[in-house]
Amino acid sequence: MLRYIFRRLLVAIPTLLLLIIICFLLMHAAPGGPFTSERKLPPSVLANIEAKYGLNQPLFVQLWDYLTGILLHFDFGPSFQYKDRDVNDVIATGFPVTLTYGTISFVLATVVGVALGVLAAVRHNTLLDYIAVGVTFSAQALPNFVMAPILVIIFTWQLGWLPGGGWNGGQWQYVVMPVIALSTSYMASIARITRSSMLETLHSNFIRTARAKGLPTRKILWRHALKPALMPVLSYLGPVFVAMITGSVIIDMYFSTGGIGLNYVNAAFNRDYAVMLGVTILYGALTVLFSLVVDVAYAWVDPKIRY
């Protein structure tokens, strides 16, 4: 198993490097630099600034500096937008917040989604199954940017139970709505995938064998059916994870949670390429890391995948 993980890590490294290079080049292929638009600066000032950030160097030198900065010092360079802050600093303030509600949402979507899916499959063709199918189907069409305003209307404006925004150090009242907004549609998707794969598993031959052994339903579900049924769900968790970190942009904007997504949007509007690049790479790295975790989980579920 360790060897398998090690091998997957080896493959992940070139992927990450390529990711950094692609993002870097894309950023620099942009028409106009960070200081060219909007505010008109005198040419001498502009040259000064560009020299300060190393933008006057040839592209590959910049790329090399950037790469070595990340690899040797874990330094993503200075921000273009905030004078005294560098990218590391920006990430260090926003990321913990995003990570907190992101993780909660992810766990919630997975656990509730799987539970709902299994329940619907076991009660196949009953009223409960039909309700679950109908609800999950519609809920899939409720992405975070739809959920956020709906939640605010209900819980803040109508009922007045929850604050409409802010973070407040992660007090639970402030976490509830971001988490629900972020997880609803993925919870529904996970439930649907779990249900159909569970149904398929329940029709397989080895389940029939387990029944022929006289095992009670509960045991058949837990010991025999759950693991194989989870396989398609596992491979879907990768995209879910990516979608959630992307969705955090909306959450930060709408609920003013102060997470990294807000920094990203601000950076985008202010053409702060350094922060955009840093955050993109951070999220890319998370994605790569997460697909590694999914692969390892896969090997754990399926003994045929060996290392």
Q: Show contacts with other proteins in window 222-251 (CB under 8 A).
A: 223-224, 227-228, 242, 245-246, 249-250
Name the packing angle between helices 87-122 and 226-255 (round to 10°): 140
Using CB under 8 A as the binding rule, whether residue 266 contacts other proteins is answered as no
Bridge partners for 160 per DSSP: none
* Min CB(44)–other proteins separation in Å: 26
User: What is d(CA 34, CA 270) in angstroms, rounded to the nearest whole number?
Assistant: 8
Instruction: Return the residue of 210, 233, 234, 262 that touches other proteins, per CB under 8 A.
Output: 210
User: What is d(CA 9, CA 293) in angstroms, rounded to the nearest whole number?
Assistant: 10
Contact 252, 261 (CB under 8 A): yes
Nearer to other proteins, 30 or 107 (CB): 30
The site that binds other proteins (CB under 8 A) totals a number of residues, namely: 78
Instruction: Return the residue of 61, 170, 200, 222 that touches other proteins, per CB under 8 A.
Output: 200
Using CB under 8 A as the binding rule, whether residue 214 contacts other proteins is answered as yes
Using CB under 8 A as the binding rule, whether residue 215 contacts other proteins is answered as yes
Residues 206-245: b if buried by 16+ CB within 10 A, e if exposed: ebeebeeeebeeeebbeebbbebbbeebbebbbebbbbbb
Name the packing angle between helices 59-73 and 2-28 (round to 10°): 140
* Min CB(169)–other proteins separation in Å: 25
User: What is d(CA 112, CA 114) in angstroms, rounded to the nearest whole number?
Assistant: 6
Using CB under 8 A as the binding rule, whether residue 206 contacts other proteins is answered as yes
Nearer to other proteins, 179 or 193 (CB): 193
* Min CB(156)–other proteins separation in Å: 9
Instruction: Return the residue of 2, 72, 159, 212 that touches other proteins, per CB under 8 A.
Output: 212
Nearer to other proteins, 52 or 208 (CB): 208
Contact 190, 233 (CB under 8 A): yes
Using CB under 8 A as the binding rule, whether residue 205 contacts other proteins is answered as yes
For other proteins, the binding residues in 117-156 under the rule CB under 8 A are 124-125, 137-138, 140-143, 145-146, 148-150, 152-153
Using CB under 8 A as the binding rule, whether residue 276 contacts other proteins is answered as yes
* Min CB(158)–other proteins separation in Å: 11
User: What is d(CA 63, CA 59) in angstroms, rounded to the nearest whole number?
Assistant: 6
Using CB under 8 A as the binding rule, whether residue 176 contacts other proteins is answered as no
Nearer to other proteins, 170 or 291 (CB): 291
User: What is d(CA 196, CA 53) in angstroms, rounded to the nearest whole number?
Assistant: 54
For other proteins, the binding residues in 16-45 under the rule CB under 8 A are 18-19, 22-23, 26-27, 29-31
Nearer to other proteins, 27 or 293 (CB): 27
User: What is d(CA 228, CA 232) in angstroms, rounded to the nearest whole number?
Assistant: 8
Provide the mask over 79-118, with x wherever binding to other proteins is found by CB under 8 A and - wherever it is not: ----------------------------------------
Using CB under 8 A as the binding rule, whether residue 217 contacts other proteins is answered as yes
Q: Reduced to 3 states, what is the DSSP secondary structure of residue 256?
A: coil
Nearer to other proteins, 6 or 64 (CB): 6
The residues near 24 (Cβ < 8 Å, ≥ 6 apart) are 62, 63, 66, 277
The separation between CA 166 and the C-alpha centre of its own chain, rounded to angstroms, equals: 21
Which of 240, 228, 230 is CA-nearest to residue 291?
240
